[in-house]
Structure 1
């Protein structure tokens, strides 16, 4: 996986067209194509959006609107680890704000940011479905409920190692 800045727009277009060719025949192909482009690059490069729009006879605004609506589509490469921190009401009511602040301090990143060394990306999410076990987080694909200070510190150690 390369970052967009190191790739020529023609390379992005070529790789995007390969994804489009594989998925264009599906019913409602935009989401499968966006999923495929993200799998190919690790994010959805901005240079891919007009290629997708042209192939599907959509406006760039329509493609951008769909991409920006779904929070799992990335505009930039993520870190080696992705920590999703629930910011919904149940988690906030269970000291989620203080735990979020502590995690941001330990990681040295804010919400929607990736550490300079590429080790971790911290993202807010607005429900992990663990309201009864609030506050909650997801580290890569592992869901963690009943966060407390010790668990937050363990998460920070794990993703920074």
Structure 2
């Protein structure tokens, strides 16, 4: 739940900053949008990779819930933030934000988190992965070597 709330705030802040840049310079925002998208993807991927590396229990379920919470939470926070800081966005924008915007934000969390969950456990080569069987060990010889 904490992951989702934190990511909702991060997504909303980035969306409000991008909207403010667009309002100030409508033709020069492509670089800002690309960098912000990369930041959002990177945050989810790195956080999930760390969860995978630390072998957090039930991390897959936690990230699905985080994606859903982040999607809905960021949609509401984006509308509030744009209304306060950028323009006069009102409650009428909430419907579109809760459908398309929430789905896009949820995917921006879920897809990189899935990648991070796959990559994270493989970062430590000495630790056996969950999907591997125990390593086969050689049986000790019954007679002493000499």
TM-score interval, smaller chain = 0.3 to 0.5
TM-score norm. by structure 1 comes to 0.30
Higher helix share: 2
Higher strand share: 1
| Higher relative contact order, structure no. (Cα contacts within 8 Å, ≥ 6 residues apart) | 2
Q: In terms of Rg, which structure is larger?
A: 2
TM-score norm. by structure 2 comes to 0.32
